Amino acid sequence: MEDKLKQVIRVFFSESSISPNIWQTVLESCEHVPSIYYLYNTVEFYTAYFSKSNSINLSVILYDHNNPVGLMPLICHQNNQGKWLLSANGIEIIEPIFIKSLPLKTKKSLELKLYHLIISLSNELNIKQCQFVNLEYHHLSSWYMLWVVKAKEVFSTHHLLVDLSLSIDEIRSKFRRRYKSLVNSGLKIWEVEVHESVSDELFDKFRLLHKEVAGRTTRSIKSWAIQKKQIDLGESFLVSVSDKNEELVGAGLFSYSDYQGFYSVGAYKRELFDKPIGHQVQMKAIEFLKQKKCLWYEIGQKHLEVDKLKPTHKELSITFFKEGFSNNAIARQHLLVEMKRAKDGW
């Protein structure tokens, strides 16, 4: 299947091999990296995350006159019913990203080729519907506008942000009132550390704590190894919480680009939920991301009862926690598009 899909890609983009070094070169030539989804290792993470579902990395480096000028993160995997999905993160397709000096005409031409590639891949995989998302915070991308005219359905989700252009005092002043004291008391009770590099031993403790809290192994060892690699490469960091006996009782893993920080995964001992255990982790993460000159910290989705996918009680509870730290929010647009063959009118 992988060879067949790569052959489809080569019809539209003759240079279909992926070099992590070239990928990084393109990122460094972009105006900014609006999401961690564009990091090469994030693509590799999601490919590994869905490895039990026959996942394949179909990402494309886009060229103009033999010069790399853009990137399209893309994977495919099978869902629980054995049906194939195309996405960047297991859910939806994101917009491509281009170097800042690329002429608008060239950008639109490459987007149109990608548009037809998505349709061709969908036909090959017998995908009836794809979901798209507009990741940019402040405008609708040309990629989104290319698909919206074909959309069967448009819907929104809401996301909680911390504006890191504010001073630490201003950010802290906007916390939920009770959380300010919980951050302080948490820092007194626990040993809280930010790790830009992490030992294999500590990271393994984090992985095992996550397994303990979840009650099962939720994903492959390879996906955890990629997240460890992202810390080593300066794309992520870990905030650990330990007790007086140096036992790990909680930790949060955060990824970041030059533009956005993102709360990736956390694990905290459930029996300690009556104590402030995650509050100071968020505070330390905010301080670190601001130090790294990130502009925004996306703490997570604000789940609502009116959402297209009705949230669970746990998701609503997590939303309440995260909302106590945010000082901004956005509505993010999503599209559901039915994939049809050319003979059906595309």
**Do residue 198 and residue 120 come from a single domain?**
no
Domain membership flag for residue 24: yes
In the chain, how many domains are there?
Answer: 2
Last residue of a domain, one of 106, 130, 149: 149
**Do residue 144 and residue 238 come from a single domain?**
no
**Do residue 188 and residue 245 come from a single domain?**
yes
**CB 69 within 8 Å of CB 99:** yes
Residue 251 reports pLDDT greater than 60: yes
The enclosing domain of 34 has a CATH number of 3.40.630
**Do residue 115 and residue 216 come from a single domain?**
no
pLDDT at position 344, please?
46
**Do residue 113 and residue 28 come from a single domain?**
yes
What is the signed CA dihedral for 181, 182, 185, 188, rounded to 10 degrees?
A: -130
User: Of 3-7, 28-32, 339-343, which gets the smallest average pLDDT?
Assistant: 339-343
DSSP string, 66-80: TEEEEEE--EEEE-T
Domain membership flag for residue 345: no
Model confidence band, residue 271 (pLDDT cutoffs 50, 70, 90):
confident
- Supply the range of the domain harboring residue 26: 2-149
In sequence order, the β-bridge partners of residue 238 are: 195, 253
Last residue of a domain, one of 149, 172, 207: 149
Domain membership flag for residue 336: no
Q: Which is it for strands 296-301 and 260-268: parallel, antiparallel or unpaired?
A: parallel
Which residue type is seen at 237?
A: F
Q: Which is it for strands 248-256 and 236-242: parallel, antiparallel or unpaired?
A: antiparallel
**Do residue 250 and residue 327 come from a single domain?**
yes
Residue 12 reports pLDDT greater than 80: yes
Q: Which of 105, 112, 194 is nearest to 120 (CA)?
A: 112
Residue 342 reports pLDDT greater than 70: no
pLDDT in tens, 108-155: 999 999 999 999 999 999 999 999 999 988 899 999 999 999 999 999
The enclosing domain of 227 has a CATH number of 3.40.630.30
Last residue of a domain, one of 130, 149, 168: 149
pLDDT at position 133, please?
98
**CB 179 within 8 Å of CB 130:** no
**Do residue 222 and residue 290 come from a single domain?**
yes
